[in-house]
Chains A and B, each alone.
Chain A
Amino acid sequence: MPPEISQHLGQVSAGAGIGLSVVGMGLGVGLIFASAIQSVARQPEMAKQLTTLMYIGMALVEGMALLGVVFCYLALKG
Chain B
Amino acid sequence: MNSNFDLNEYIMHHVLNSHEWLLPFVQPIPLPGILTSHALMVLIGCFVIVMLFLVFYRKDQRVPTGMTNCLEALVVFIRDEVAIPNLGEKDGLQFTPMLCTIFFFILTLNLLGLIPIFSTATANINVTFSLAFLIFVLLVFGTLARNGLKGMWHALIPSTLPKWLIPFFVIIEIASICVRSVALMIRLFANMIAGHMVIMSFLGLIIIFGWIALPALFLAVFMYCLEVFIALLQAYIFILLSAVFIGQMYHPEH
Which residues in B have their C-beta under 8 angstroms from that of A76?
8
A30 within 8 A of B: no
Q: Which residues of B contact A69 (CB under 8 A)?
A: 190, 194
How far does the Cβ of B231 sit from chain A's closest Cβ, in whole Å?
14
Quick check: B191 and A63 within 8 Å, CB to CB? Answer: yes
Q: Does B236 contact A (CB under 8 A)?
A: yes
A63–B240 CB distance below 8 A = no
Q: Give bound CA distance, A59 to B186, whole Å.
A: 11
| Pick from B183, B193, B241, B244: contact of A70, CB under 8 Å | B193
Residue of A nearest to B9 (CB): A77
B197 within 8 A of A: yes
State which size class the interface on A falls in. Answer: 10 to 19
Q: Considering the chains assembled together, what is the distance between the CA atoms of A59 and B81 in angstroms?
A: 17
A39 to B244, CA, bound (A): 22
Of A56, A66, A73, which contacts B191 at CB under 8 A? A66
Mark each residue of chain A from 17 to 54: 1 if its CB lies under 8 Å from any CB of chain B, else 0: 00000000000000000000000000000000000100
**For B197, what are the chain A residues with a Cβ–Cβ distance below 8 Å?**
73
B48 interface residue (CB < 8 Å to A): no
Which chain B residue lies CB-closest to A55?
B237
The residue that B241 contacts in the complex, of A59, A64, A67, with Cβ under 8 A, is A59
Q: In whole angstroms, how far apart are the Cα atoms of A59 and B230 in the complex? A: 10
B233 within 8 A of A: yes
Asked whether, in the complex, the Cβ of B12 is within 8 Å of the Cβ of A63, the reply is no
Give the size category of B's interface with A.
10 to 19
**What is the distance, in angstroms, from B27's C-beta to the closest C-beta of chain A?**
27
What 1/0 mask marks residues of chain B from 171 to 202 whose CB sits below 8 Å from any chain A CB? 00000000000010011011101100100000
**Are A77 and B233 neighbours in the complex by a CB distance under 8 Å?**
no
Q: A56-B240, A56-B244 are in contact. Are A67 and B186 (CB under 8 A)?
A: yes
Q: Give chain B residues whose Cβ lies under 8 Å from the Cβ of A77.
A: 8, 12
Cα of A70 to Cα of B193 in the assembled complex, Å: 8
A11 to B242, CA, bound (A): 37
For B241, list chain A residues within 8 Å (CB).
56, 59
Residues of A within 8 A of B190 (CB): 63, 66-67, 69-70
Contact B237 A56 (CB under 8 A): yes
Give CA–CA (A64, B194) in the complex, Å: 12
- Find chain A residues with CB under 8 A from B187 CB: 59, 62-63, 66
Chain A, Cβ-Cβ closest to B82:
A52
Give residues 190-238 of B contacting A (CB, 8 Å). 190-191, 193-194, 197, 233-234, 236-237
The residue of chain A having its C-beta at the shortest distance from the C-beta of B191 within the complex is: A66
Contact of B183 among A52, A55, A63 (CB under 8 A): A63
Q: How many Å lie between the Cα of A62 and that of B233 in the bound state? A: 12
**Contact partner, B233, options A55, A60, A67, A73, Cβ 8 Å:** A55
For this complex, 8 residue pairs linking A to B, each with C-beta atoms less than 8 Å apart, are A55-B240, A56-B240, A59-B233, A59-B241, A63-B186, A67-B186, A70-B189, A77-B12
